Amino acid sequence: MTFLVFVGLVTLATMATAQEDGNPMTGDKTIRIMTYNLKFASQTYEPSWEVRREMQVDMIRKYSPDIIGTQEGLKEQIDYLMDHLPEYVVIGEGRKGGDDDEHVAIFFRRDRFRLREMGSFQLSETPEVLGSGPSINPRLVTWARLAVINRPADGETGPHPMDYRGHWENTQELYVFNTHFFDRDDQLLAKLNSAKLIMERINGLDRFGEWTKLRPVFLLGDFNSDPGDVIYRTFVGDEESDDPRLLNDSIEGGSGIDWILSRGNVEVLSYEVVDYNVDGAYPSDHKPIYVEFQILDRFHGPWNQARY
């Protein structure tokens, strides 16, 4: 499989504006995540991709997310961002596999994470068969298991003892899932089954490895669904839900169709709908969602089960 790696963490800023010259990490306990529908390089959309691409690079540089989940980008678009944002690694492929069609890509900062595992699955009755599902515009999920790079500063002691054979307690990992749901009202059943499949895959990751510690999970994407509807409730439940395996939205009550959901020992510090434009011209028909999370207890301990 051909995968593109483009990771960027988006800081949650509740109506906050990112710093013009980049938003430096706060130690190693803050993760900034962004989800962004790039708008495919349509020949009829204005401004054209040749104009929008520079705007998108500038916007990403200003916010400097640790992880970015993108939707709709064609190979040319993903390649351009990858070439002009060398600080990121990119994974992902077209929704029929390979380089053709729209990509669901994940960008992550190469100085922040090491890629330990990655993959994709189709949102269909045969998830392992890439390109399966509708003959037109099939949908898929790109996912990654990332390890936080934890290098001690000069003169400081790191978390690992001199001989750390047999130790697992310092492993800091997380999962990122990125997707783009069907967009028509008559595809509600397909969207519902897609949501159930994603939750099934996420819930299968409760434990792995000898350390048996839970890892945070982030689900990003353009879900083409409204907060409160059946798709949303499949992921986050409702006021009466008490299943600890459900996800949390980054903003109380939800907002729009682009979401960053999470589960695990993290909490939201800030949330922002990025209103980036140049003289009233926007680089996409979607506004990025940018969220900053605080890591609790260095990825250890029980899931954060607080519900909105």
Average pLDDT, the chain: 85
More confident residue, 254 or 2: 254
Residue 167's pLDDT band, with cuts at 50, 70 and 90, is: low
In the chain the domains, ranked by start, together with CATH numbers, are 30-153+168-299 (3.60.10.10)
The pTM assigned to this predicted structure is: 0.86
In this structure, what token pair is assigned to residue 100? Answer: 């053709």
The mean pLDDT value for 229-237 works out to 97
Half-sphere exposure of 291 (CA within 13 A, CB side): 25
Separation of alpha carbons 165 and 160, rounded Å: 10
pLDDT of amino acid 128: 95
The contacts of residue 187 (CB under 8 Å, 6+ apart) are none
More confident residue, 19 or 290: 290
Residue 301's pLDDT band, with cuts at 50, 70 and 90, is: very low
- The pLDDT tens digits for 18-70 are 333 333 333 468 999 999 999 999 999 999 999 999 999 999 999 999 999 99
pLDDT of amino acid 18: 38
Separation of alpha carbons 85 and 95, rounded Å: 23
Separation of alpha carbons 244 and 242, rounded Å: 6
| DSSP string across 56-98 | HHHHHHHH--SEEEEEEE-HHHHHHHHHH-TTEEEE--BTTST
